[in-house]
Amino acid sequence: MSTRLYVGNISFKATEDDVKDLFSQAGEVVSVKLIKDASTGRARGFGFVEMSTDEEAQKAVSQLNGNNFMERSIVVNEAKPQEKRERGEYREKSGYGSRGGRR
């Protein structure tokens, strides 16, 4: 069973291949997904790496968390499951995007 890792503080210059090469030191990399801003297409500085086994994922965390990668100290830990949000939840709580008058 594969394990998904969160990787933060990634250089904006890094590509998915760069990250895959780095994590290959710890084992077999199943996938890499760097998150980009939806409106600009620019990297947001974090992403997810899926390792083929739990043991390789733990090895990646212990070897790479806090290490310097492309002039930045990266954060590596096990990804938490994404919380399900209802559409527009953020907007309703913040008051932005409502269709009525002022609150």
In the chain the domains, ranked by start, together with CATH numbers, are 3-81 (3.30.70.330)
What the block records as the tokens of 98 is: 């409502």
pLDDT in tens, 40-69: 999 999 999 999 999 999 999 999 999 999
Whole-model pTM: value is: 0.78
At 60, which amino acid appears?
A: A
Q: Which amino acid is at 102?
A: R
8-40 pLDDT tens trace:
999 999 999 999 999 999 999 999 999 999 999
Strand order in the sheet with 43-51: 29-36, 43-51, 3-8, 75-78
